[in-house]
Structure 1
Amino acid sequence: MPRRAPLSLLLGVLTSSSCFVFNVAAQVPSTSQQSSTRSETQAASWFEAHRDQPAALRAFVQRMPKGGDIHSHLSGAVYAEHYLEWATTDGYCVDPKAVALVEPLACGQDSSYFPASELFNRTSVYDSLINRWSTRNLQFVGKSGHDQFFDAFAGFGAISDSASRRDDMVAEVANRAASQHITYLELMLTVQGSEVRQLGREVGWNKDFQQMHRQLIQRGLTELVKLGSQQLAQLEREVSKTLGCGTPLAQPGCAVTVRYLQQTTRTKSPVEVFAQLAYAFALASSDSRVVGINLVAPEDNPIALRDYTLQMQMLQFFKRQFPNVKVALHSGELTLGLVPTEDLRFHIRQAVEVAQASRIGHGVDILFEERPFELMEQMRQRGVLVEICLTSNQVILNVQGDQHPFREYWKAGVPMTLASDDEGVSRIDLSHEYQLAATRYGLGYKDLKRLARNSLEYSFAPGNSLWKSPEFKAMVGACASDTPGGTSVSAGCSAFLNKSDRARIQWQLESEFARFESLRNWL
């Protein structure tokens, strides 16, 4: 018999740079692979029997293990109520005429301003702020979902852009993730954004990417990267303290592994975008907390449209300089009528072929692309995942149901997962997206389980996969004889998991599936 180690010894701290302690859920003994399959079948049968009961489905997907949420903007994931709570604590005021926050130093500029602490007694203004900072009551705001969604960020920007509340933001999102049985997050955020853009302006534009990159380094890019890494280390400590990790009062978010994607704002001048990308790639290559990079801001912005191909070429340049840095791109977050039709025909293809993106965020306009089925086949062969954000696509683009390419991606075999995008602004959570996928597209439990597994298989967590292939039919040899959810793990499997962050979080997901499927009653 092979030596086996207690599971508690195997699954401790994820890595020395982990944001939170890796917590093991209670394990459920499983005597064989056959019993595990039987439990899965019973869960799937219960799901089908309650398919026409939305409240029951919601309870089921709430408790269902989901692996990761790998497309989530930190600032947009926070609910407006939390921003208002922090505004009260931090001494902000409110302009009732503009229905806007006023920063503390400007509170005395107008006699009509009142302290944010009074908002709880002025519910009409309180409600108006929440409506402005989200898509709540969208039908009454007199704006398109697109405009209301993107305008919301400016309202709470003074707080979300401040480093002083970033730990609270991460803690809130992590706690909500834990409540939904999500154990891994990749949060998009910007570190040193304004400083890097200023450096780019000082260097100036040059069509020679190599020379411009060299000048950025000579003028201080490396020092900014070091400062950014120090900020992330401080954020990690502050989040751990805010959540009480390692203490008897530890909050649920301590059990969630958090990693980051460094954002680049695509609506800036070419030299500023180039400088941001140079910084993002350097930071991701040197700090394990940053597992990849992404472009953000509306894809239909005139600057983003004008410079799209140029930005893909920049990404191609940096990908060659930093081949190990992972790239996820917002691409194809467009639809007919939003932009000229020529802008619908090439964005996803360039993101895949030029920028070498490993993941595509949204990908809504895929069927408007030139040779879309050929492109989807290429994505399938390359293993380019699509991050599907159903509510976001409905609100921003008014694309839902059969207008959404969900079914086409599924039939083409393109890897997919569900993501929240901006839980706070959209007033939803990832569980809601799982319920939507099931009800709109007839997905069963095993289909949802695949989407959850994909979130970790295609995550940017480092290390080898637990699985022999993305079909999830068999685990790697080292763990082939082990049963997730058991009370022990073999020495060989333990050694394998200790070498791979990705495999460890995948093992945790499989253990949670075993526990979940053993419930027999999912309400």
Structure 2
Amino acid sequence: MHFPSYLLLRRALLATALVVAGCTATDPLAQAPAVSAREARVAQRLEAARNSPPALRAMLTAFPKGGDLHMHLSGAVYAETFIHEAAAENLCADPVKLLLLPNIGTTKSIPPRPVCAEGTVPAANALTNQKLYDALIDSFSMRTFVPTSGTSGHDQFFATFPRFSGLSKHNLPEWLDEVATRAAAQNEQYLEIMHTPDVVPVARLAAGATLDPANPEPFYQYLLAHGIRDLAKQATDEMQSAMQARREREHCDTAQAQPACQVQIRMLYQVLRALPLPTVFAQSVMAYEMGTAAANDPNYVGLNYVQPEDTLASMSQYSAEMHLLQFLQSKYKTQPRHARLSLHAGELTLGLVPPDGLRFHIREAIEIAGAERIGHGDDVAYETDAPALLREMAAKHVSVEINLSSNDGILGIRGADHPLAIYRAAGVPFHLSTDDEGVSRIDLTNEYVRAVTDQHLTYSALKQSARASLEHSFLHGDSLWSAPDRFTATRSGCPLPARSTDVPGSTCQTLFHSSDKALQQWELERRFIAFEESTLAQPAAYNGLASTSRAQGSQSGRNPSEAF
């Protein structure tokens, strides 16, 4: 099909979808820059490879993806790393339950060896026992998992985390390095990573007073008076040390700097929502306190609530938690630097909970708690007055974090059953993300391939996802774009690059000095050009199978923060 005709047909289909959904949002295609001849030719290459996942993989590995805004650090690390770290830490493994355990002592030998409880073995045994090694990988991930009666993908997915939770927090630099290295290899620029600091001292503090959800002010003042800021400072310092150690591992700021140094990382405080409500609130206060410290330490930029939404605690406390977040938003949102809010909401499906449980999570996250982004949002069609909610999300520019593989593995939502199509039809901004790439055994490129094959996204839609990931990031500063989610004109007279070799002019430099976000957005546009030039330099017969090294090489060693 001739490319302009294809676009016209797609516009007509989207208009039809808006009528069906009862929505009147702006056509998402109208929010993208005009399609250049270069982009149109690359889009044709993608269409030629659409029915070949290997060809798409080869083409899209080097595709500039912007950022991954929905990633849990412990779930992003591959099981192989955990096994090697467990061996180095002299941990033990239960060969039946397939989980890691602390030792009960160590030998006096050099090097020392763990003494393990009866029925368990040194975790290091897995490095010489392939059967144990494979079994632990399968236990720590979705690899080889097949649902059986009584054990669903949901059960296996969430059961993986306690099995490797015994590892030391001293491994944080290695974990950060692993995810950054993987991101750099796929032409990602930015990661927003969820992580839970030590929750034990927070829980102890919360146990010292009584929380009245209808009047949280006294409990809030109790937390401030009894050391919550000290705990926040300690957690912030620990992450700052881990970040510095990660950069040392990658030899950043030296002649031997690794490509991972180019990947900017920010953290979200991961609040455990299924704990008792006072502890949930105390974690949230700590997260906001860490966010206000961002002027001096920008590592923590926001918070998110995690753990399965379908547990008894999560379901029964959900509305109370949203109102407590509303209270905290009123306390902190007026500060120049404050923690931003993204929430797991609607990671549910019919049958997992009663129908009444599907009708309010996304709406309350937005309208009560004030969430700027929604993680998953799988049950949006079951929400009360779903068309109105979709219109509200589009009007407020509340974006949705789309996790195709985990939605399939956990909830069995895939293909036409996935709500991505109605989000797009309603003009709700979206961005592809990984969720837990280590547990799911995927990477972000896999999600882009899946978006093409399962969700029928075009090349233009993939670019929209990448742009939206930076537009809706919690990076500090103004957007490069003059209007939210309309990627047609830049602000402040800072023009887009015309060639992959362009460097920003003086007006852009002024903007970039006050905006990490705008700098990353400008760099993304430059990478799009480099990718498209490289793709078209390959013979058309390859249909996306050409080497990705050229596109990545065009930006290798170039840190966007060094653009001027």
Matches within 5 A, 1:66-465: 66-105=65-104, 107-110=114-117, 112-139=119-146, 143-159=151-167, 162-207=168-213, 208-287=215-294, 288-323=298-333, 324-465=338-479
What is the alpha-carbon distance in structure 1 between the residues aligned to residue 463 and residue 447 of structure 2?
A: 13
Q: Name the SS of the counterpart of 1:198 in structure 2.
A: helix
Q: Do the aligned partners of residues 165 and 196 (structure 1) sit closer, same or farther apart at CA in structure 2, a change above 3 Å counting?
A: same
Q: CA deviation at 1:491?
A: 1.1
Superposed CA offset, 1:126-161 (max 9, x none): 1111111101111177621000000000111011xx
What is the alpha-carbon distance in structure 2 between the residues aligned to residue 297 and residue 484 of structure 1?
A: 45
Structure 2: runs of 5 or more not aligned: 1-32, 106-113, 539-543, 547-564
Q: Name the SS of the counterpart of 2:207 in structure 1.
A: helix
Cα pair 1:199 1:216 within 8 Å, conserved: yes
Q: CA deviation at 1:81?
A: 0.5
Q: 1:480: which partner in 2?
A: 495
336-345 or 236-245: bigger deviation: 236-245
Superposed CA offset, 1:158-193 (max 9, x none): 11xx22101111110110011111110000001242
What is the alpha-carbon distance in structure 1 between the residues aligned to residue 287 and residue 496 of structure 2?
A: 41
Cα pair 1:331 1:362 within 8 Å, conserved: yes
Q: CA deviation at 1:119?
A: 1.2
What is the alpha-carbon distance in structure 2 between the residues aligned to residue 82 and residue 242 of structure 1?
A: 15
Q: Name the SS of the counterpart of 1:413 in structure 2.
A: coil
399-408 or 355-364: bigger deviation: 399-408
Q: Name the SS of the counterpart of 1:350 in structure 2.
A: helix
Superposed CA offset, 1:222-243 (max 9, x none): 2112212211221121111122
345-354 or 494-503: bigger deviation: 494-503
Cα pair 2:100 2:165 within 8 Å, conserved: no
TM-score by length of 2: 0.84
Q: Name the SS of the counterpart of 1:262 in structure 2.
A: strand
Q: CA deviation at 1:326?
A: 1.1
Cα pair 2:287 2:339 within 8 Å, conserved: no
Q: Do the aligned partners of residues 484 and 308 (structure 1) sit closer, same or farther apart at CA in structure 2, a change above 3 Å counting?
A: farther
Q: CA deviation at 1:475?
A: 1.6
What is the alpha-carbon distance in structure 1 between the residues aligned to residue 496 and residue 241 of structure 2?
A: 41
TM-score by length of 1: 0.90
Q: Name the SS of the counterpart of 2:285 in structure 1.
A: helix
Superposed CA offset, 1:406-465 (max 9, x none): 111110111111010000000111111111111112211111011010000011101111
Q: CA deviation at 1:484?
A: 5.9
What is the alpha-carbon distance in structure 1 between the residues aligned to residue 116 and residue 464 of structure 2?
A: 56
Q: CA deviation at 1:482?
A: 5.0
Cα pair 1:192 1:224 within 8 Å, conserved: no
Q: CA deviation at 1:513?
A: 0.7
Cα pair 2:492 2:507 within 8 Å, conserved: no
What is the alpha-carbon distance in structure 2 between the residues aligned to residue 233 and residue 55 of structure 1?
A: 39
What is the alpha-carbon distance in structure 2 between the residues aligned to residue 486 and residue 419 of structure 1?
A: 29
Superposed CA offset, 1:311-346 (max 9, x none): 000110001111143100000000000001111000
One-letter amino acid of the counterpart of residue 447, structure 1: A
User: Pairwise CA RMSD of aligned residues?
Assistant: 1.7
339-348 or 87-96: bigger deviation: 87-96
What is the alpha-carbon distance in structure 1 between the residues aligned to residue 242 and residue 72 of structure 2?
A: 16
One-letter amino acid of the counterpart of residue 396, structure 1: I
220-229 or 70-79: bigger deviation: 220-229
Superposed CA offset, 1:237-277 (max 9, x none): 11111222123333221110000000110001111111111
Q: 2:8: which partner in 1?
A: none
Q: 2:19: which partner in 1?
A: none
What is the alpha-carbon distance in structure 2 between the residues aligned to residue 60 and residue 197 of structure 1?
A: 48
What is the alpha-carbon distance in structure 1 between the residues aligned to residue 379 and residue 148 of structure 2?
A: 27
Q: Do the aligned partners of residues 482 and 150 (structure 1) sit closer, same or farther apart at CA in structure 2, a change above 3 Å counting?
A: closer
Q: 1:510: which partner in 2?
A: 525
Q: CA deviation at 1:198?
A: 1.4
Q: CA deviation at 1:112?
A: 4.8
What is the alpha-carbon distance in structure 2 between the residues aligned to residue 435 and residue 424 of structure 1?
A: 18
What is the alpha-carbon distance in structure 1 between the residues aligned to residue 519 and residue 449 of structure 2?
A: 27
193-202 or 503-512: bigger deviation: 193-202
Superposed CA offset, 1:260-310 (max 9, x none): 000110001111111111111111121321111100000001000000000
What is the alpha-carbon distance in structure 2 between the residues aligned to residue 72 and residue 484 of structure 1?
A: 32
Q: CA deviation at 1:122?
A: 1.2
Q: 2:549: which partner in 1?
A: none
One-letter amino acid of the counterpart of residue 88, structure 2: T
Cα pair 1:386 1:417 within 8 Å, conserved: yes
Structure 1 segments, 4+ long, off by >6 Å, are none
What is the alpha-carbon distance in structure 2 between the residues aligned to residue 414 and residue 420 of structure 1?
A: 19
Cα pair 1:364 1:405 within 8 Å, conserved: yes
Cα pair 2:480 2:490 within 8 Å, conserved: yes
Q: CA deviation at 1:77?
A: 0.2
Could you tell me the percent identity over the aligned residues?
38
One-letter amino acid of the counterpart of residue 485, structure 1: S
Q: Name the SS of the counterpart of 2:369 in structure 1.
A: coil
What is the alpha-carbon distance in structure 2 between the residues aligned to residue 249 and residue 457 of structure 1?
A: 31
460-469 or 373-382: bigger deviation: 460-469
What is the alpha-carbon distance in structure 2 between the residues aligned to residue 513 and residue 278 of structure 1?
A: 40
Q: CA deviation at 1:85?
A: 1.1
